[in-house]
């Protein structure tokens, strides 16, 4: 059954000018030939860098890269998908999770078996409120300052936009940033400012309206 297939393959190879044994035929020289004259890549790069250094372009590029790096640190990308609170909203978040594998202590003793449902708030409580707000909005910043004073400083300010380093210097207190929106997405926050508090084994999240009449400071 396989002989006709094999014969067909041999016929195709022969038609294309080859042989079943794979011997190559000399097709001769077609057209003129030239030597490959290509500068060594590393030598080319080194010369290019020397030229840029001599012209001042290299220093300019280094300064631009440094400026971009400093600006990225001082002004992180704002969290996408958030808007100023239009309508107050209160909801709850249950941080419980189910273990996917066994957890052992340092001695190898089983602490929690896979499939166990655990709630971190039953082990460690939230010692401070979490306050998410946009540092680019002067009204939100003023409202955040008022809330921090109201709770006697037991608030962890977390920016979703703006320059947290500048605000930290103004307030002389640590200010955090929700990098890539990891916390707001996990907590389901869609509007800011939003205040997160613990109520028993759950987190209460209040998306707060900001009085526009409040004087920014």
Domain boundaries along the sequence of the chain:
89-207
Average pLDDT value for residue range 2-30: 47
Query: Is 14 a residue whose pLDDT tops 50?
Result: no
**Residue of 214, 213, 215, 190 lying closest to 205 (CA atoms):** 190
d(CA 148, CA 211): 16
CATH number of 89-207: 3.40.30
pLDDT over 70 percentage in the chain: 72
Average pLDDT value for residue range 34-58: 72
Taking only the tens place, the pLDDT of each residue in 114-156 is: 888 888 888 888 999 999 999 999 999 999 999 999 999 999 9
**Residue of 42, 65, 63, 46 lying closest to 54 (CA atoms):** 46
Is the pLDDT higher at 53 or at 95?
Answer: 95
Q: 18: buried, middle or exposed (CB in 10 Å: 19+, 13-18, 0-12)?
A: middle
Q: Report pLDDT for 9.
A: 46
């Amino acid at each position: 059954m396989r002989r006709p297939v094999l014969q067909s393959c041999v016929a195709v190879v022969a038609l294309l000018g080859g042989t079943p044994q794979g011997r190559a035929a000399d097709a001769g020289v077609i057209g003129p030939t030239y030597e490959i004259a290509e500068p060594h890549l590393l030598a080319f790069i080194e010369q290019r860098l020397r030229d840029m250094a001599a012209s001042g372009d290299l220093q300019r590029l280094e300064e631009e890269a440094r400026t971009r790096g400093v600006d990225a640190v001082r002004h992180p990308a704002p969290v996408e998908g958030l808007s100023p609170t239009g309508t107050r909203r209160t909801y709850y978040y249950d941080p419980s999770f189910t273990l996917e594998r066994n957890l052992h202590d340092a001695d190898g003793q089983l602490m929690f078996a896979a499939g166990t449902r655990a709630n971190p708030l039953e082990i460690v409580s939230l010692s401070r409120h979490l306050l998410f707000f946009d540092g680019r909005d002067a009204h939100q910043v003023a409202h955040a300052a008022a809330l921090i004073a109201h709770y006697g400083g037991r608030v962890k300010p977390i920016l979703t936009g703006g320059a947290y380093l500048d605000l930290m210097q103004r307030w002389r207190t640590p200010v955090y940033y929700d990098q890539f929106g990891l916390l707001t997405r996990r907590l389901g926050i869609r509007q800011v400012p939003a205040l997160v508090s613990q109520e028993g084994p759950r987190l209460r999240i209040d998306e707060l309206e900001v009085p526009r009449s409040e004087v920014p400071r």
